[in-house]
Structure 1
């Protein structure tokens, strides 16, 4: 075991973030921390690193082990070039190499014992140099830089001139080259394109140390994680397997908890009905039984109703009118910025009902294509045509379609003036904006909040052709899954740009790969794209799996027979229960009639009639006692 977190508690004021959080990381284990935005994932990593102090509990790192940590936001300042900055991680190897070269020069002047001693030292240093991969450290640095998406002509750029995303990649490269025993990464895929993410996956999978990562990239988590650490409502739960294993197990547990809660609620109501009925019998034994059941109910540990995770945000996408079959036709589209030619002579079509993902490396022009289609940029050449009755709904990753000075309420009401106040508030509430939140200015919102406002406007547009630019940016996993479900139920047409491979795999019916200035068409999801694209690692022959054998007919017949028998038993029980209640009602009514008769002078003065009626009352009492027990048994 390399790391152990034991009973970690952390709160900010009255906001409890972590409650008795406990888990451990084994040597070489690849683990992921998941949870909704604000769950406490980054807080947990900072506590492990000692950047934040836990309210209670302890973090134990195995003796002699090292941790490397990459936070979400990097404030890297350096006058080094990119290459020099990464090379600085290998300073010990560089110094060792210099010592070896110096020793080589010294040995030319030595002889005898001094030479022998120098040779021994040279051998030791050479062995150490080899263990530290000294003969390939420069190649290692170049490999990491290229893997993280830096071109060779960028190696000499000064770090201080880089963007925030580029600085994060430089920091990630330095961390990977330092080879700590435990790598901790907070959202490492945010500033990487698909090729770089795939390279990072391979690097981490082959890494001989342990990895603990926070990420919303479910495809990434599926590739690398063997353990999922979930933070939900401050509680930490550990699941073995990758993200898909976790999601399936989580769904099973939620279903089981809901089933248990519903069963208990049903049992409570049933017991309350039985208690009320027993008390209505107004007999000593029945009342005692009722009291016994009440005590049992008082001792019952009542389960809390499980929260329904998908009830948090509601997205319903539905077009107002149906478009023609030909939604979009693009012919000969070209665009350049100065001397940089992004693409030329692009031709493609989009048909009604398709969900087309436009993918490619950063800087290839994907967002530019969407802006051209939305009339925000002009193409250098070529044209595009929208089909009959096509109405576009546009989601901009930078949310330029939102007005910073407006409040949320104004943003919706100005865009859709026909909506009344109640509808606007209900719509915003569906996207988690309630109360005074609706009067916040757009400029005051976080990236995730702006994304939710843009989605709300998209939902209200009732467009039949959605053009989406990185719609999952800033969304947590739960929100992404809700959006996926909405798009998969959408009857219109979708064209989108995304780096989220899981999202693409779940929603796309076709992929257009913008590479080398041209489009390559793949009729399938992301898994299909990988299968066809990666010609260097072709899929093995014979991958088709044999169809599962049909269940024997006799077993099917047996299940059907058992089901019929159970249904017959259920019907008989219900009939018996009904007949028992009817007989109890009849006998109790007759018992009341006898009591009424015994008050009449013509009866209580007639000894023979009194004896007869008292005998009938005794028979009724005995029969009722049996029926009450029978009713109670059937009520179970």
Structure 2
């Protein structure tokens, strides 16, 4: 269906691809992964509209290949008063009206031939998108996404997550040959994320989806495209199998690398000895032996293991505390209520300690972001922050904390770093090289912007972090690096997140929004609740065993104990089969 061959493309300030090739076959559900800023969205744009770009190589599509597309950005402006049914069925309704109009014309026209031709074209177009069953299919997909109740609502009445799912349903029902989605999961709550999983898995056509969401990656795809360091590799199989394959390769390559290094060291010592002896006999036997040995050394250097997909560079997130305090109450919320068109939260009460990490969980549109922003602004009588707490805030609306017209350099000088060298040194830990510092923030990917937000939060050295969807747009490697940094952080955290893995990996407890109020529960109970609702019996236990084995493999690799690592990888393979 799609064939990309030896594609190379560069921006003026950045090389993106170096002779990459891949194919997409009919019926494949392909996840497209890679680090933030590696060029995934640009590559999708090239596939959709190659005429816009000047590149080397080939991009071939089947003739008349119809592409459905869901952007990572929602656009509501022109359709807010349209109903959900009218929005999803727009193409079908338009064709129905066109067919009815042609029939009316034929009743009174004396020249019926051209009308018959138009009528047949409209019928063919209607049939191509399975128009006869469109109402039944709309109802079926709304039911699959648990959105039956939304059918007659106006688009303006939907939450952001609900509208994202409606966009997906609309594109799927238009029966494209290839369905492309760019981070459709961003900001979806867990219920909507589960609905998206159901929609993806029910779709019979070919799909190419950019996603960093580990829940979708683990449960939706049968092919992986991984873009890294201007190179791309294809993998036929699931994301879990792909990661296992990477781990096996890592064990083998580390073992080979150590052997190569030992051989290189032996060779270097031998060359040094030969050089000493050959100084007086450069053209004789010793000189010839030296030249042969140098060539062997060059060959060894060339075949030294290089692994752009194995040891992937990720940001070095580190949260420092400028003002560490003894355990006390950091935040107290008493009888808090908030409403817009309707009441969202009523009589909410909770406390957070100065060393406690707490996630807020709840459906889209229930007031989580409003609550977090009001805590940050600290001018509501229901909210009391301990005066010893220094608050740092990360917004899901990146424009609230980053100025798009600034360069990266300007942004961090304004944030309090003193010199060009200070910014260069500081920002390099977050994956930005010196030549990127003059880039405008507006030109960066969503993930790169979020990394800059996190960098600003860490620079503040606050002891109380307010984080609104901190993993949004982040690639999986950056998510894991962030989780590690949050786990090691010694201050208080209040975090809105719909990422199940981030919550259970580094939070102490969860505030769950239900029926316009909030109740607090510990992570153990929260885990059981999620697994009981969304996974088969035994999945939690198997996944915990898998994580333990992966940790043991990592330890074995650090100690260069390759025999143990290989034995454990066999154990891991059996657990993966169960998942």
Match of 1:515 in 2: 514
Change (3 A) 1:86 1:403: closer
The 5 A counterparts of 1:311-326 are 311=313, 313-326=315-328
Q: Over alpha carbons, which structure has the higher Rg?
A: 1
Distance 1:407 1:288 in 2: 56
The 5 A counterparts of 1:282-361 are 289-300=289-300, 302-303=302-303, 306=307, 311=313, 313-361=315-363
Match of 1:189 in 2: 185
Match of 2:5 in 1: 7
Cα deviation, 1:549-573, whole Å, max 9, x if unaligned, reads xxxxxxxxxxxxxx9xxxxxxxxxx
Distance 2:534 2:444 in 1: 45
Distance 1:309 1:538 in 2: 31
Contact 1:324 1:389 in 2 (8 A): no
Normalised TM-score (structure 2): 0.72
Deviates more, 1:63-72 or 1:24-33: 63-72
| Number of residue-to-residue matches in the alignment | 511
Correspondence 1:272 to 2:274? no
Change (3 A) 1:70 1:269: same
1:468 CA displacement:
0.8
Superposed CA RMSD in Å reads 4.5
Correspondence 1:467 to 2:463? no
Change (3 A) 1:206 1:81: closer
Match of 1:70 in 2: 70
Distance 1:469 1:346 in 2: 19
Match of 1:204 in 2: 200
Deviates more, 1:309-318 or 1:88-97: 88-97
Contact 1:8 1:58 in 2 (8 A): no
Normalised TM-score (structure 1): 0.67
Distance 1:540 1:360 in 2: 24
Match of 1:573 in 2: none
Match of 1:506 in 2: 505
Distance 2:94 2:414 in 1: 62
Quick one: which of 158, 161, 169 aligns to 1:173? 169
Cα deviation, 1:23-69, whole Å, max 9, x if unaligned, reads 334444321111123323233334444554663235354x8975433
Correspondence 1:24 to 2:23? yes
1:459 CA displacement:
1.4
Contact 1:148 1:192 in 2 (8 A): no
Match of 1:484 in 2: 483
Distance 1:438 1:40 in 2: 18
Distance 1:542 1:142 in 2: 31
Larger RCO of the pair (alpha carbons < 8 Å, separation 6+): 2
1:139 CA displacement:
5.1
Q: What is the DSSP-based 3-state SS (H/G/I as helix, E as strand, rest coil) of the residue aligned with 1:21?
A: strand
Distance 1:75 1:541 in 2: 41
Change (3 A) 1:31 1:460: same
1:401 CA displacement:
4.4
Deviates more, 1:512-521 or 1:442-451: 442-451
Match of 1:81 in 2: 83
Cα deviation, 1:42-98, whole Å, max 9, x if unaligned, reads 33334444554663235354x897543334456685685332121234459969999
1:13 CA displacement:
6.1
Contact 2:392 2:465 in 1 (8 A): yes
Contact 1:531 1:539 in 2 (8 A): no
